């Protein structure tokens, strides 16, 4: 049976006001903000030109890296687990990064690549993020699959042993083929993830009420 992919009820307003965000306007300023070696003074000056514009017309990367690029990667994970209190940013923001990282890995090489690489240590948080964006069914299937790992998903060497277990790669391939669009399609990921940022209080490019 074909899975019904959830689309958060914010898509209509995601494009509101897009016409005024032209390449010569706020998007051009954002490109300058995201350029390498931008000084703090220049960053503040450019940010003031954007003001408090809604994040809706922008891609996830444009919003996220403008805000958090000096804080990435979050230093919250190691072989012992997940410690959200180690970051100045709230847990909800850390989950947004987990979703972005998983999207990059899974859209490129499926769940096999995700678990083989270091991102796999964040699988429990990916499951939480999937639930937050309305993909509870897939989250449950992924959780069940990870439950077969005899060891810690946080430890890469133990994940690699698990990946070599008969049947695991077939299961991951099947899950990858039925993954939510938010994990495999860039456009859908932007819609869902920017909407998620808005639900946790990130609504403008300058105001930052989401830190601890």
Compute how many other C-beta atoms are within 10 angstroms of the C-beta atom of residue 23. 8
Tokens 């074909």 correspond to: 2
d(CA 191, CA 209): 22
SS3 71: coil
Over the stretch 130-173, which tens digit does the pLDDT of each residue have?
999 999 999 999 999 999 998 899 999 999 999 999 999 999 99
Give the helix ranges, DSSP H, for the chain.
11-14, 26-34, 40-50, 60-68, 91-116, 123-132, 136-146, 156-163, 168-177, 181-184, 186-199
Radius of gyration of the CA atoms of the chain, in A = 18
d(CA 23, CA 199): 27
What are the extents of the domains in the chain? 1-212
Q: Which range has highest mean pLDDT (15-19, 86-90, 122-126, 197-201)?
A: 122-126
The answer to whether the CB of 86 falls within 8 A of the CB of 75 is yes
Over the stretch 58-104, which tens digit does the pLDDT of each residue have?
788 877 776 666 555 678 888 889 999 888 788 888 898 899 999 99
d(CA 190, CA 99): 11
């Amino acid at each position: 049976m074909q899975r019904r992919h959830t689309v958060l009820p914010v898509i209509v307003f995601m494009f509101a006001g897009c016409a005024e965000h032209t390449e010569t306007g706020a998007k051009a300023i954002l490109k300058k903000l995201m350029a390498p070696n931008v000084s703090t003074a220049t960053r503040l000056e450019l940010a003031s030109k954007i003001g408090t514009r809604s994040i809706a017309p922008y891609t996830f990367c444009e919003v996220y890296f403008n805000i958090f690029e000096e804080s990435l990667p979050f230093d919250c994970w190691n072989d012992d687990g997940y410690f959200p209190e180690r970051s100045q940013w709230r847990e909800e923001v850390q989950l947004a990064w987990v979703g972005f990282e998983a999207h990059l890995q899974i859209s490129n090489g499926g769940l096999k690549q995700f678990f083989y690489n270091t991102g796999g240590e964040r699988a429990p948080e990916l499951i939480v993020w999937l639930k937050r964006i309305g993909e509870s069914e897939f989250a449950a299937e992924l959780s069940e699959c990870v439950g077969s790992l005899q060891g810690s998903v946080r430890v890469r060497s133990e994940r690699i042993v698990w990946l070599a277990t008969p049947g695991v790669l077939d299961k991951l391939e099947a899950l990858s083929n039925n993954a939510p669009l938010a994990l495999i399609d860039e456009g859908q990921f932007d819609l869902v993830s920017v909407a998620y940022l808005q639900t946790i209080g990130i609504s403008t490019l300058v105001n930052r009420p989401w830190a601890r």
